[in-house]
Amino acid sequence: MKFDRRSFLQLIPGAALTATGVQTSWAAGEPLRVGSILSVTGPAAFLGEDMKAGLQLAVDEINASGGINGRKIAWTFYDAESQTQKALSATRRLISQDKVELIVSGGNMSGIALAMAPMAEAAKIPFISSEGALAIVTPVADRKWVFKSTVDDEDVLERIADYCEKKKIKKVALLADSSGFGQGATTQMKKVGPRRKLDVMYETFGPADTDMMPQLTRIRDSGAEAIICWTVTPAGVIFIKQAQQLGLDKRTLIHSYGFVSAHYMTLAGNAASSILLASLKLPVGDQLPDRDPLKAGILKLFKDYQARFNRPASLYAAESYDAAMLAKEALTKVGGDVSKLPQGLEQVKNFAGKSGVFNFSPERHSGLSKKDIVLVNWKDKRFNLVDYD
Amino acid sequence: MHAGSAILQLLVAGIGTGSIYALIALGFNVVFKSTGAMNFAQGEWVVMGGMISALLFASTHNIGLACIAAVVIVSVIGILSERLVVWPLRRPNALLITLVSIGLAICSRSLVMMILGKKPVGYPGFSEASTLFVGGIAIQTQTLWIVGLTLVFLLAMHLFFEHTIMGKALRAAAADRDAAAIVGVRVETTVMLSFAIAAFGGALAGALITPLTLSSYDQGALFGFKGFSAAMLGGIGSLPGAIVGGLALGLLEAFGSFYISSDFKDAIAFAVLLAILFARPAGLLGRADVVKV
């Protein structure tokens, strides 16, 4: 049921006061107003479309099962067009005009979610971000209302360090793009590298660069045994191709979870077989060992998503789906009181989502860990599990 | 690894990228020659060249045919663009055409996004073997195609402007629109032709570079910016200047990011660009315009 001005007027002859009271918004039966902002146009659109689909699926599933504590979700969605400014005015509208009680997903770009977080915090509206940067939820003292459903760069780098240790690799190169995503990883690597006794060299490239030979030549001459590339832009394909041309495919090449895209792999052609990707488990869901807590859930998501949208589910769809399901889990824990949602989320332990197993606490508002990361490769036109734990 | 092979590797990389910049710079130069304006839609034609080639390649699986057809299609788009936005101007002057071209660029980008999609596209290089190894350095065969076809195209343009009536008419129209019209040059036709040539050059650049770098609808602004810088560096309006400027910019980027820092790749290139323009405001090969008042 939609709650608009007309239905409000119809209520007036009856017990109008219940609808205008201050703290009655979570009364059973009235819809739970949830707002989302994603970029379904602009450069980040390829992520946004999947994330929107993930949310649609989650909202419909929740509503079909009777809603959260008897309240169905009324979902409001705005397109941020990959622009922070647009996202911020949409956020303002969600809060002041649409009066949403909770926000899920922030523009599918870390930069946008980072800008939205303080607004949600100031308005005391719970915000569950499906974007990557750790700074969205830190420091926790200033982010009491903000949580994220994605993995932290630090955990991914720790996981890659584990792999390097296993393969006795001591010297690595981090080739990161100059965006917030790439530079965030560079900052984290400067912590992880010394801690794991890795000798790290750093190189940068522009997201729209057309040539990486200078950086790769430098890396080749430095003798780095593994090269980690950190980007979500098509420039990552240039990395794969040019690394092969320089003969670097005999070393260990690793792409981050931001590049786990079948489309990119296809564009890289036969050079794609030379790389590993540090990914969440979803793309190799069917190859996970049966003891894995996520396997059954991932297979169900594959089936439901394919049936609904007629395309395979991606990591990004899983991230936004999880964000919505975490809201449900947390609200159920606190009896549906949205103002207590943060306390509810902080109690969530060992919650098996689609992208990983979530554990939140009052000190940590980011739920995944390095155990949720596996290494995969691209062979036979699909992602395959290479290194499970 | 020896320092020598690294230098050669950078040289190859710089020349490859530089040739692309030269092709785009040439587009700027041709439109400048005929109108005195900067055409900021140039970068969008590069993207169209790449994306239309990819679309045609997907359906025909013939790389040569796809690229030639794409370049022709984009040239026609160049002509249409001129007819739609420049020709209707009542009093065309350089500043007005420059401003209109910015609108044209934004429009073209949205149309490309809506019609050709948001996903980056690519296709294999023109030759079967993708990489040659010469003296310890890797050369992509596509780079050879880029350098070769760029030279051929620039040579053809040189002959056109210096040795054909049409080319001379174009230059005359740029030098003095009214005077050219008085001596019988159809000024409006020359402007249309210059847009066609600029679109041809841009689309060729796009078709050539897509196998190496992929193509997506939002790259146009950057290509335009780089081509514009190359044109300014070489001397706007000078054809050899386009080659010199393009190669200089490509090499500066390659060596700057290797020897100084890849963090400052663009900054280094543009710092040098500024320094050169301070010393020689008309660019490396440009002639300063002397305007008597």
- Tens of pLDDT along B60-77? 989 999 999 999 999 999
Taking only the tens place, the pLDDT of each residue in A185-231 is 999 999 999 999 999 999 998 877 778 888 998 899 899 999 999 99
Q: Which residues of chain A have a CB within 8 Å of the CB of B255?
A: 214
Half-sphere exposure for B165 (CA within 13 Å, toward CB): 4
**Helical (H) or strand (E) element with A14:** none
Chain B nearest CA to A299, separation (Å)? 27
pLDDT digits (tens, 9 = 90+) for B116-136: 987 888 898 888 777 888 877
Let me know if domain B3-292 sits in CATH 1.10.3470: yes
d(CA A136, CA A366): 9
**pLDDT tens-digit series, residues B263-293:** 788 888 788 888 888 888 888 887 766 555 5
Residues of B in contact with A173 (CB under 8 A): none
B216-240 residue pLDDT tens:
888 898 899 899 999 989 988 888 8
Q: The whole model's pTM is what?
A: 0.79
Nearest to A322 by CA among A360, A291, A361, A370: A360
- The whole-number average pLDDT for the span B76-80 is 95
What residues does B138 pair with on adjacent strands?
B133
CA separation, residue B282 to residues B30, B171, B245, B290 (Å) = 16, 18, 12, 11
pLDDT at A6: 53
pLDDT in tens, A337-356: 999 999 999 999 999 999 99
How much is the pLDDT for B65? 94
Give me the pLDDT at residue A14, please: 44
Q: What is the pLDDT of residue B291?
A: 55
Question: How far B159 CA sits from the closest chain A CA (Å)?
Answer: 31
- Whole-number pLDDT of residue A23: 43
- Residue B96 makes CB contacts below 8 A (sequence gap 6+) with B37, B89
Q: What are the structural domain ranges in chain B?
A: 3-292
Model confidence band, residue A295 (pLDDT cutoffs 50, 70, 90): very high
Query: How does the average pLDDT of chain A come out, rounded?
Result: 88
Among all chains, which residue has been given the structure tokens 């926000």? A103
Q: What is the dihedral of CA B60, B65, B70, B73, to 10 degrees?
A: -100
Which secondary-structure segment (H or E) carries A283? none
Find tokens 């008419």 and name the residue.
Answer: B169
B interface with A, Cβ–Cβ < 8 A, is 1, 6, 9-10, 12-13, 16-17, 20, 113, 118-122, 124, 130-131, 138, 140, 209, 212-214, 216, 218-219, 222, 253-255, 257-258, 261-263, 265-266
Q: Which of the residues B209, B257, B263, B264 would you substitute to probe the A interface, choosing the one with the greatest number of A C-beta atoms within 10 Å?
A: B257
CA–CA separation, B68 vs B83, rounded Å?
23
Pair B212, B35: CB distance under 8 Å: no
Give the nearest partner residue to B10 out of A209, A213, A220, using CB atoms.
A213
Kindly report the nearest CA distance between residue B180 and chain A, in angstroms: 41
Q: For residue A90, what pLDDT is reported? A: 95
Of A157, A145, A144, A109, the C-alpha closest to A130 is: A109
Q: Inter-axis angle of helices B239-259 and B265-279, to 10 degrees?
A: 140
pLDDT tens for A90-117 read 999 999 999 999 999 999 888 899 999 9
